[in-house]
Structure formats: structure tokens, C-alpha cells
Structure 1
Amino acid sequence: MSDIPVRIRPEIAALPPYRQGKQAAADAFKLSSNENPFGPLPQVAESLRRAGAFNRYPDAAAARLTARLAERFGVAPEAVHIGAGSVSILYQLTQATAGPGDEVLFAWRSFEAYPGLAVVAGATAVTVPLTATAEHDLVAMAAAVTDRTRIILVCSPNNPTGPVVTQSAFDRFVDAVPADVLVVLDEAYAEFVTDPDAVDGERVLRSGRPNVVILRTFSKAYGLAGLRVGYAIGHPRILDAARSTAVPLSVTALAEEAALASLDAEDELNERVAVLAERRDDLVAALRESGWDVPDAQGNFVWLPTGERTAEVAAALDAAGLIVRPFAGDGIRISVGEAESVPRVVAAAAATHV
């Protein structure tokens, strides 16, 4: 007999809640949540101090931020949708397109929230394994599309493994997908990408593909993870459907203010992103030198393919004061954190390699 006091959908009762990266003690480095290790820029912090008026509801449309992003991407304001983090928009798009009997298609392993999107919508998750190099197998994904497929999620760079989808591969993939199936290009880490062959959401938008929506966020490169603000760019009618499923007023006035101030400070923020990208590349090189087969990394994290040794290696890293994100049976994602964390990561990982 169930210990739940009311009737809950069985698939929801069986769905594990989203598990946040473990918090770190004062003497440890938190490298579990892909957060930006740099604190807020002074001008961003000042914008929050000036915001005030917490007794008033925020602008439901986040109109100033919407207009700013519309200008930036060269689209109408209706083609921009702001959400409380890009993951909230993922839920909205999935619920707007898929229901019982429909399919949600994505690569696996990828962003751990993806399976739950399908369950919450009442749809079926269809997963396609990554390649041996931890990349999306877009040919196999195209072959997995059926007349029940309603939405396809493509994560580039892929979280948690790191490689990007190339522009040419993505273009071929969209050409192979039925025009009435939504393709979401999840670019939460786009600002960290240095590979010139990587898919670029802005280029996709310019190519005129109405069934593609791109997602980006202010949580990672812009360092606003604690304020929860992300956005989608795409066809206005698709985004209207997402807006219809959204929780009203979920984007706070503070989040909008900080996002606008961050856009004003992009030159300084891009300098920080460049530092993190270089630190990432150095970390990848050092881990490979120690024997680890690390996939190409284009986000602000690296992937250790630890397989069945995942719990053992994660425990060793934890003992070294490194809080990382283990995925049982698959591997460990390590965020690129403070400069002082890098030699400790390299030494601890080298000690665990066999």
C-alpha cells in the first residue's frame, strides 16, 4: 500500500526529484554545479541595490530585457521568451508540444532534467546513446524519429560530457527531421565555446528554420545562477505556446535588472569567460597527460569517464576537498572553478587513474 496520502500519478511518484550539486564545506571547492566561480561585477551588484520596490510584482513579459535581446538577435520582440532559467522554458516547450502517446527524443547521457520533462508532460522519453567520443549521434537520432515524435532536444555543448554538435551536422539533422517537429537547441554553455565548427544558434536563426528554438541562459557565463533567468529565441507562435504554459510572474524584477546590467558589462564578462575557457583547456590537457580519456570540452566543465568506478573516484575527489558531480555507472562532471582548484583536481584525478 502506498504511503502517499493522496492519489498521485504513478509515473510522477516514481520520478526522482532533481538533485542539485552537493554543497561544499568552507575548505573545499564546489565543482558540482557548473557555476561561474567569479562573483558579480560591481555594476551588476549595484543594479540590484538600486532595484528596490520588492512589494510590486515584476513585469510579466520582462519587456526591457525582451526588447534588448530582440535587438541583439535581430528578431521581433515576439520571437523572444524570458523564463526563470532556460530549464523552465524546456518544461514549457515540452508541455506545449507533447502529451500522452507522444515522444520526446534526446541523446543520453545528456542534461539530467531531460527525462523528467517527458514524464511530467505524460509523454514517452526516447533516448539515443552518445557516440564512443561522448558526442550526439545525430544520424541515429534522426533515424529514431517516428510519427509520435513531437520535440527533440539537442544539447551543445553537451552537459555533462562536453563535446559540441557541429554546424554542418546540425544542419543535416534538421533537414532530416519533419518540419512539424520542434527541435530545441539547448545552448546553456554557448559563450564558452571556442570550436569554430560548433553549431551557432544565431546562425541557425538566420537560416530561417521555423521549427528550431534556441535556448540560452544568464546562469553560467553571466554568473547569475542564483537569480534564475534564461531565454528562448524562435518562431513567435511556438513561443506563445510556451508562454501559455508558463507560471506567471516567475521571472523576478531583480533577475531582469541583473541581466540587463550584465549585457551592459559584456566586455568585462567576456574577459572572464575567456579565462575560464583557457583554464578548462589547461585542465583537459593535464588530465589527459595523467592518463584520463577526457572528451573534448567546450563548456565550463570536464568529464571523467569513470564507468563502474564512479562512486570510488568521486569519493577520492571528495576526500581531496573537491565536490564534483558523479553520475552512477557513467562518469564524473567537474566544473571549472577557481584557479587554485585546478592543481588539486589534476593531482586527485591522477591518483585515482588505473
Structure 2
Amino acid sequence: MSRRLTRADLDALPSYVPGRNPADLARELGLTEAIKLASNEVPYGPLPGVPEAILEAATQVHRYPDMGVLALRETLAARLDVGIERIATGCGSVALCEHLLKAATVPGDEVVFSWRSFEAYPIIAATAGVTAVKVPNKADHGHDLDAMAAAVTDKTRVVFVCNPNNPTGTSVRRDELAAFIDRVGPEVLVILDEAYREFVTDDEVPDGLTEFGDRPNVVVVRTFSKAWGLAGLRAGYLVAQPEVADAVRKVVTPFSTNACVQAAALAALRAEDEMERRAALVISERTRLTEELRKFVPDVPESQANFVWLPLAERSVEFGKHCESRGVIVRPFPGDGVRVTVGTPEENDTFLKVAAEAGL
């Protein structure tokens, strides 16, 4: 028998599930268009100045980009009031989480995270050769920090705290997060995944960088894919203590923050006021969606992200198929719930009509 060419343990690893292409669904159903509310994108197009910055950068794509990403890192450092040596960039926040595991773990180590949480965590844990320790969410669909702290062992090297949590939208409050970090101790790297930070309105949900950025074992990871409107280009950054950020920069794929990404991210940062205006629209619609959906599903949790969570358990896949059959793409998680991205008011109206027809 010939020896296989790939790792056998990857056979059991689930693939990351992207949102379905709405154009494909529209053709399948014979519709003019379909609505995609599955991937947590912001629906209002690129921020002003971004397309122009991409076009200008595109004239130089025969050259390698700045591998040090200095202009973007300098801009972020000034905006966040941290040293540039504390910032690393990558191909979205998920890539940075992957690089952090590469930098902080070896095969046989453990990584702890809440479940259900970001679906990439178990995938990147497996590819890094570390053991994923999944701690069930509480009844309110949020992190059980006490149980997560209790799950930390001598083998634990990394803990992920997704705040707000994807896909449930729930959040960890300031005091409980501080107590958790204290309990975990300084020997474990605590990664605060704040991909949805710009949509937070609850004052009790802490800014991880402001509140805990001075701690040597805390890393704050953020992205340009959501509120900043660069999902199609993939750009993220982390802020950590210099030795951690330096280790990440060593394992990042060279030139992975490409020239168009760097130019687009800088342009997006210059349009911060418009980003905040658009985020406010999303937040307003999030409130409306939550109120309307609670008429069908009373235990819809409060979301601090740009999506809402329907805890439909075994009905999740059926509801997802119902929505797709009517031209609305949502994201079911079998056995758990359905995540619905906040779209435009018109898209949300259509979804609410479709949801009402489902007889929840």
C-alpha cells in the first residue's frame, strides 16, 4: 500500500463554509437578484477614496509591496496611540489568529475557546497541530468564562475570546473579562478577537486595547473586512507586546498584505467619519431586526455585532433552506442556530417577510 501524501487527521476537519453566491441562487430560482445576509458584510459599498486608491496601487502591481507595511502600521500606531513595534498586519484577522498559533504553540499544546464561536478556530487549531478545547456557551449563548478558565491546564498556551462573539453576537463585559484574564494567568496568551468592535454600543463591553493592552499576555486582533468595508481584499491587524508582535511578523507569509490592500486600508482610515455613519445605520437596523425577530423567536440574544442570532437549534437548517427558496441567503449552523447579517433596510424588510412566512 502506498503512503498517503497528506495528513490523515485533516479528513475529519470541517471545511470553512463561505456564504453562497447570490447571483448563483438568483439564476437557480429565476429571480432578478437574491439577497445575501450570510457573511457579515456591510452593504453600503467601499468607503470614499478606496476604489481610487486601489486603482492607483494597481498601476504598480508588477512591484512587490512594502513587506514591512510601514505606512499602514505607522497610521494605525498613531490612531491607536501605541508603538509601531506592537503592530503586525495580515490577510484578515483570521490569518493573524493562525499566525499567533504558529508563533505561540507547538504540536501537543492546547487552545481553549468558547463553542459555538468563530468557526475558523478549530480549523486553525488542527492545522497548527494543537488540541482544540471547546467550552460550551452558556444558556444565553455567550462565553462561559468560568468554565473556560477551569479548562485551562498546563498544556494550554492560547485562549481565544471573541468579543462580540461570532456567530451569536453576545458580548463579554468589562469586569468579567478582567477577572478571567487574571484567573488565566500570565503564562497563557489571551487573544481578544474584536473583529466587530466598531458596532459595539454597550459601554460595559470593553475596548480590549484600552482596557487590557498593557498586559504582556493580551493580544487584540481586529479587521478591515467588516465596518471598514474591505471584505473582498482581506486586511487585519493585531496589537500585542513587541516580542509577540515580532514573533508574528516572522511567521507571516511574506508580502501577504499586498499593495492594493495597504492602499485601500489607508484610504479607508481617512474616511473614518463615513465608516462611523454607516456603522450607525447598521446598528439602527440591528435594533429593529432584533425587536421584530423576537416576535417569532423570543430568546434572540442582544447583539453587539452587525448580525443577529436566531437560536433555532434543530430547525436551523430547515429555516435556512426556507430563506434560500425565497431568494434570501442566511447562515445556518446545524443544531445550533442561524446567523443573519444586518443588510440595508430594504433587504431586512424582505428577510423579515420571509421569516414571518416560516412559521417560527
Instruction: Please indicate, yes or no, whether the TM-score normalized by the shorter chain is above 0.5.
Output: yes
Residues 292 and 304 in structure 1, CA contact (< 8 A), matched pair in contact too: no
Residues 47 and 229 in structure 2, CA contact (< 8 A), matched pair in contact too: no
The number of aligned residues is 351
Taking structure 2 as the reference length, the TM-score comes to 0.94
Q: In structure 1, what is the equivalent of residue 147 of structure 2?
A: 140
| Residue 91, structure 1, aligned to residue 98, structure 2 | yes
Q: In structure 2, what is the equivalent of residue 179 of structure 1?
A: 186
Give the Cα separation in 2 of the matches to 1:124 and 1:292: 36
- Alignment-mate amino acid for residue 120 of structure 2: A
| Residue 249, structure 1, aligned to residue 255, structure 2 | yes
Give the Cα separation in 1 of the matches to 2:61 and 2:162: 35
Q: 2:15 aligns with which of 14, 17, 20?
A: 17
Give the Cα separation in 1 of the matches to 2:62 and 2:15: 31
Residues 48 and 271 in structure 2, CA contact (< 8 A), matched pair in contact too: no
| Residue 310, structure 1, aligned to residue 348, structure 2 | no
| Residue 210, structure 1, aligned to residue 208, structure 2 | no
Q: In structure 2, what is the equivalent of residue 286 of structure 1?
A: 292
Of stretches 59-68 and 34-43 in structure 1, the one that deviates more from structure 2 is 34-43
Residues 78 and 236 in structure 1, CA contact (< 8 A), matched pair in contact too: yes
Q: 2:345 aligns with which of 312, 326, 339?
A: 339
Identity %: 49
Q: In structure 1, what is the equivalent of residue 110 of structure 2?
A: 103
Cα displacement (A) at 1:153: 0.3
Give the Cα separation in 2 of the matches to 1:90 and 1:182: 11
Q: C-alpha deviations, 1:279-313, integer Å up to 9, x for none?
A: 11110011012344211111000111111111111
- Secondary structure, in 3 states, of the residue corresponding to 2:237? strand
Q: C-alpha deviations, 1:99-149, integer Å up to 9, x for none?
A: 222101000000000001211111100011111111101111111110000
Give the Cα separation in 1 of the matches to 2:97 and 2:199: 21
Give the Cα separation in 1 of the matches to 2:251 and 2:271: 32
- Alignment-mate amino acid for residue 13 of structure 1: D
- Secondary structure, in 3 states, of the residue corresponding to 2:294? helix
- Secondary structure, in 3 states, of the residue corresponding to 1:340? helix
| Residue 113, structure 1, aligned to residue 120, structure 2 | yes
Give the Cα separation in 1 of the matches to 2:80 and 2:162: 20
- Secondary structure, in 3 states, of the residue corresponding to 1:231? strand
Taking structure 1 as the reference length, the TM-score comes to 0.96
Runs of 4+ in 1 over 6 A off after TM superposition: none
- Secondary structure, in 3 states, of the residue corresponding to 2:6? coil
Unaligned runs of 5+ in 2: 27-32
Q: In structure 1, what is the equivalent of residue 198 of structure 2?
A: 191
- Secondary structure, in 3 states, of the residue corresponding to 1:107? strand
| Residue 230, structure 1, aligned to residue 236, structure 2 | yes
| Residue 169, structure 1, aligned to residue 176, structure 2 | yes
